[in-house]
A and B are shown apart, each in its own frame.
Chain A
Amino acid sequence: MALYNFKKIMVVPTAKEFIDITLSKTQRKTPTVIHKHYQIHRIRHFYMRKVKFTQQNYHDRLTQILTDFPKLDDIHPFYADLMNVLYDKDHYKLALGQINIAKNLIDNVAKDYVRLMKYGDSLYRCKQLKRAALGRMCTILKRQKSSLEYLEQVRQHLSRLPTIDPNTRTLLLCGYPNVGKSSFINKVTRADVDVQPYAFTTKSLFVGHMDYRYLRWQVVDTPGILDHPLEDRNTIEMQAITALAHLRAAVLYVMDVSEQCGHTLQEQLELFNNIRPLFANKPLIIVANKCDVKKITELSEENQKIFADLSVEGIPVIETSTLTEEGVMQVKTEACDRLLAHRVDTKMKGKKVHDVLNRLHLAMPTKRDEKERPPFIPEGALTRRKAMEVDAPKRKLERDLEMELGDDYILDLQKYWDLMNDDEKQDKIPEVWEGHNIADYIDPDIMKKLQELEKEEELKERAGEYDSDDESEDEEMQEIRVLAKQIREKKQLMVVESKEKDVHGPRMPRTATKVERKTLEKEMGNLGLDMNDKDGSHYAQQARRSRSIAKKRKREASAPPTSKTRSQSASRPPRDQSGLRDPKMAKKAKKIMKNSQKGMNRQGKKGEADRHVFDLKPKHLLAGKRKSGTTDRR
């Protein structure tokens, strides 16, 4: 809906800026190089492109302005009237009309010159035609200077108008200046309207929102109205009149009982009668404000009669004081209720109701005996409902406590905890104990769960689920079990034995060393394997290292085979320790090494020799025009 797009209107540039932007855009976004010796069609195309590009830009921007600004005929009559009051409908329409004309003129200019350029037979001629075309378009725009300025001001003001939804529930405040309308709205909603002792502090409409009965209500504050005929009203008052005329709202006519606003009650009554026609079909409430200074009962006879007359006519008169807040809630509830009833009535009288009513059916259960079965409303809900209507705070809020204590206030949420012993509330609880997170173990039913688990386990055990299955095994299985047990024991023994020995640095695995045949036969024999069958064996013969049979030393199974190079490397210090005197120097050397690797690592290189370039021709360096500045490198 048009209402909410008032903030989204694009900025309207001034004429000079507009021209500058478009011309520099043409210069940047179209090709710039052309020579005399090019073919004539290429030259023509080059210049025609510039003319068309400029025309396109102007056209687009002007069209955007024209579509962004709301058409007074398309928006809600409230906003149309408000804009008429604020900006003068005629001026507004004229300005937009001028922009439209300018757009059409620019299009025509471009069309003519493009047609002429087809007959251009030299670079000079085409260039002059392009220059003439652009010049004419810019002159057309220069003439729109005042329209553009006006539209920019309208846009700025429009974006700051309060967003009033004309169709939703609204309360409208009206009355003389200085009677207390702005104070009322400040009390009832979160709006922060300026309240000052001089008249016409509020110079335009303000809107605030409040909640009642789970619905959102708008409260509209208007500038004060003085009592003179419609033609003499100035812009400020006319805004209030517009709001009164177009918004279907509950009207709260605010009167100053104490006459502190500078106008007597008689004058206020006069004004009321004068604008009475605007209140037709709207629920009306008279708010007698500033009753802390003077109550109605303290007034003179004739003044009291005024109020009596009004209440006789059926218009509720409610005394309020925005200073002491008495009666404010009453006004609110009264106005809201009346407006809701009114709205429901109007809807019932309308045509759309029947669509809904046809489909609604309230089913009532039929009585089967004489017993009364009223709806059950729990006590708490009833009290809460009553409290909501009175709207008094039931318990002391933290905020109130904060206000009382001032600087001494400390937020202490532990006092709201629900514990079995109340004196435990302020106890300190550790977070971690013996390496466990206490929070993991907090469960209100933890003891109960433990007991259940134990019961289950007991039952299972009794049922015999954990007993081993002895009878189902046959002899073979049992033998295997015995053997397996023996193997396990032997393994454990060997592990213990090896742990008792000294460890000499890195070890070759057992399978890498040569095993003597005799050892193999003995071990396997101990384990119970029959090693006497020598024919079926597959012993590998290892080739003799030297020609003579050298005496082999008995080696331990776990000692590493020492070769010549290996023995030297054992005696030489490793590379990263050679040449370094002390750990400090070693640390520094390591740091230098790491530093030199940093660059390579950051670029993801495999090593020093990795000179691969992933992107030989990066686009951001090689695309685009050579702009001003040095162009001796890419």
Chain B
Amino acid sequence: MPQNEHIELHRKRHGYRLDHHEKKRKKESREAHERSHKARKLIGLKAKLYHKQRHAEKIQMKKTIKMHEQRKTKQKNDDKTPEGAVPAYLLDREGQSRAKVLSNMIKQKRKEKAGKWEVPLPKVRAQGETEVLKVIRTGKRQKKAWKRMVTKVCFVGDGFTRKPPKYERFIRPMGLRFKKAHVTHPELKATFCLPILGVKKNPSSPLYTTLGVITKGTVIEVNVSELGLVTQGGKVVWGKYAQVTNNPENDGCINAVLLV
């Protein structure tokens, strides 16, 4: 029975086939032709996948070639000039940077007073009621149409209990209730899965805010105790706002960006 490295042992004892090296060399040189034949003749889905993969390969190849070429040529070294070193004719303009910082701070304070927040998505598409709420017909003859079911993802708090089913006007199905959101920190570029504390504002309508409907552009409050942020005064920050950046009902998850 063939044991352990029997192939290598056979090669050691008997050597290679007489045409082995020839065949290998020819096979390798044929590869270019086969690849081009494939690229020309493939059709349909296979072609799409193949072209995508090949495109990625080519980009990599070009990058490596460029890197190799960079080594050979001489480049201007940007690091050599230290920062802050200013040519002679600009010597008297240093005071500007500090002034810019101060004026920015004043502008931000004014905006806060006005209630306008700087958010990553300033404008979002408004969702109409027919889109968000679906009419549920009830009654003996299915004529009454006062119940509505929420068709978008929503958040209900921890202590939420439904009103008696006969009287509840807005139905929030359990399958569409989410508790966690994937929140990205814009500077750290890291994403965390944090529990939602509540819906702060839904840009489409205040009704949605009270219902807890989460659509694209909604500002939610998340529990950031995981991140271990601390205020100036030494207090632990455990809640922060984040804005939702995707359509949760289409993707099955809530992706948000932390508002710092």
- Closest B residue, CB atoms, query A192: B9
- Closest B residue, CB atoms, query A627: B44
A125 to B247, CA, bound (A): 10
Q: For residue A112, which residues in chain B have a CB less than 8 angstroms away from its CB?
A: 252
Contact with B along A587-628 (1 / 0, CB 8 A): 000000000000000000000000000000000000000011
Contact stretch, chosen from A199-207, A392-400, A425-433: A199-207
The answer to whether A194 and B251 have CB atoms under 8 Å apart is no
- Closest A residue, CB atoms, query B150: A119
CB distance from A277 to the nearest CB of B (A): 28
The answer to whether B176 and A194 have CB atoms under 8 Å apart is no
- Closest A residue, CB atoms, query B8: A194
Determine if A146 is an interface residue (Cβ-Cβ < 8 Å).
no
- A113, A116, A118, A162 interface centre (most CB from chain B within 10 Å): A116
Q: For residue A121, which residues in chain B have a CB less than 8 angstroms away from its CB?
A: 134, 151
Contact with B along A114-135 (1 / 0, CB 8 A): 0110110100110011001100
* Contacts of A391-447 to chain B: CB distance below 8 A: none
CB distance from A181 to the nearest CB of B (A): 15
Q: For residue B3, which residues in chain A have a CB less than 8 angstroms away from its CB?
A: 160-162, 191, 206-207
The answer to whether B4 and A160 have CB atoms under 8 Å apart is yes
CB distance from A600 to the nearest CB of B (A): 40
The answer to whether B1 and A163 have CB atoms under 8 Å apart is yes
The answer to whether B251 and A128 have CB atoms under 8 Å apart is yes
Q: For residue B9, which residues in chain A have a CB less than 8 angstroms away from its CB?
A: 194
Given that A27-B45, A204-B4, A628-B43 are known contacts, is A133 also in contact with B252, CB under 8 Å in the complex? yes
- Closest A residue, CB atoms, query B149: A119
The answer to whether A116 and B176 have CB atoms under 8 Å apart is yes
A314 to B203, CA, bound (A): 95
Determine if B173 is an interface residue (Cβ-Cβ < 8 Å).
yes
Which of A24, A132, A194, A627 meets B250, CB within 8 Å? A132
The answer to whether B251 and A132 have CB atoms under 8 Å apart is yes
Determine if B166 is an interface residue (Cβ-Cβ < 8 Å).
no
Given that A119-B151, A162-B1, A194-B12 are known contacts, is A113 also in contact with B252, CB under 8 Å in the complex? yes
Determine if B164 is an interface residue (Cβ-Cβ < 8 Å).
no
A113 to B251, CA, bound (A): 9
- B49, B134, B250 interface centre (most CB from chain A within 10 Å): B250
* Contacts of A139-179 to chain B: CB distance below 8 A: 160-163
Which of A124, A125, A191, A628 meets B44, CB within 8 Å? A628
> Interface range on chain B: under 10, 10 to 19, 20 to 34, or 35 or more?
20 to 34
Which of B12, B175, B253 meets A132, CB within 8 Å? B253
- Closest B residue, CB atoms, query A115: B175
> Interface range on chain A: under 10, 10 to 19, 20 to 34, or 35 or more?
20 to 34
* Contacts of B138-192 to chain A: CB distance below 8 A: 151, 173, 175-176
Q: For residue A119, which residues in chain B have a CB less than 8 angstroms away from its CB?
A: 151, 173, 175-176, 249
CB distance from A407 to the nearest CB of B (A): 23
The answer to whether A160 and B12 have CB atoms under 8 Å apart is no
A104 to B90, CA, bound (A): 65
A133 to B252, CA, bound (A): 8
Which of B4, B12, B252 meets A129, CB within 8 Å? B252
A194 to B4, CA, bound (A): 11
* Contacts of A193-252 to chain B: CB distance below 8 A: 194, 203-207
Q: For residue B151, which residues in chain A have a CB less than 8 angstroms away from its CB?
A: 119, 121
A119 to B247, CA, bound (A): 14
The answer to whether A160 and B249 have CB atoms under 8 Å apart is no
CB distance from B47 to the nearest CB of A (A): 9
- Closest B residue, CB atoms, query A121: B151
Determine if B2 is an interface residue (Cβ-Cβ < 8 Å).
yes
A205 to B4, CA, bound (A): 8
CB distance from A236 to the nearest CB of B (A): 11
A206 to B1, CA, bound (A): 10
The answer to whether B134 and A116 have CB atoms under 8 Å apart is no
- Closest A residue, CB atoms, query B45: A27
Q: For residue B49, which residues in chain A have a CB less than 8 angstroms away from its CB?
A: 20
CB distance from B141 to the nearest CB of A (A): 23
- Closest B residue, CB atoms, query A133: B252
- A128, A163, A205 interface centre (most CB from chain B within 10 Å): A128
Q: For residue A24, which residues in chain B have a CB less than 8 angstroms away from its CB?
A: 45
Q: For residue B1, which residues in chain A have a CB less than 8 angstroms away from its CB?
A: 162-163
Contact with A along B237-258 (1 / 0, CB 8 A): 0000000000101111100000
Q: For residue B44, which residues in chain A have a CB less than 8 angstroms away from its CB?
A: 627-628
Contact with A along B124-136 (1 / 0, CB 8 A): 0000000000100
Which of A115, A116, A203 meets B4, CB within 8 Å? A203
Determine if B25 is an interface residue (Cβ-Cβ < 8 Å).
no
- Closest B residue, CB atoms, query A27: B45
A198 to B134, CA, bound (A): 83
CB distance from A142 to the nearest CB of B (A): 15
Given that A27-B45, A112-B252 are known contacts, is A160 also in contact with B173, CB under 8 Å in the complex? no
CB distance from B170 to the nearest CB of A (A): 15
CB distance from A419 to the nearest CB of B (A): 45
A205 to B43, CA, bound (A): 51
A160 to B151, CA, bound (A): 58
A116 to B250, CA, bound (A): 9
- B3, B44, B49, B253 interface centre (most CB from chain A within 10 Å): B3
Determine if B74 is an interface residue (Cβ-Cβ < 8 Å).
no
Contact with B along A83-125 (1 / 0, CB 8 A): 0000000000000000000000000000011011011010011
Determine if B40 is an interface residue (Cβ-Cβ < 8 Å).
no
CB distance from A221 to the nearest CB of B (A): 10
13 extra A-B contacts, CB within 8 A, seeds A20-B49, A163-B1: A115-B175, A119-B176, A125-B249, A128-B250, A129-B251, A129-B252, A132-B253, A161-B3, A162-B1, A162-B4, A191-B3, A204-B4, A628-B45
Q: Interface of B with A (CB < 8 Å)?
A: 1-6, 9, 12, 43-46, 49, 134, 151, 173, 175-176, 247, 249-253
The 8 residue pairs across chains A and B that have the minimum distance between CB atoms:
A128-B250, A628-B44, A162-B3, A132-B251, A204-B4, A115-B175, A132-B252, A628-B43
Q: List 17 A-B contacts (CB under 8 A).
A: A113-B252, A115-B175, A116-B176, A116-B252, A119-B176, A128-B247, A129-B251, A132-B251, A132-B253, A161-B3, A162-B1, A163-B1, A194-B9, A205-B4, A206-B4, A628-B43, A628-B44
Q: Interface of A with B (CB < 8 Å)?
A: 20, 24, 27, 112-113, 115-116, 118-119, 121, 124-125, 128-129, 132-133, 160-163, 191, 194, 203-207, 627-629
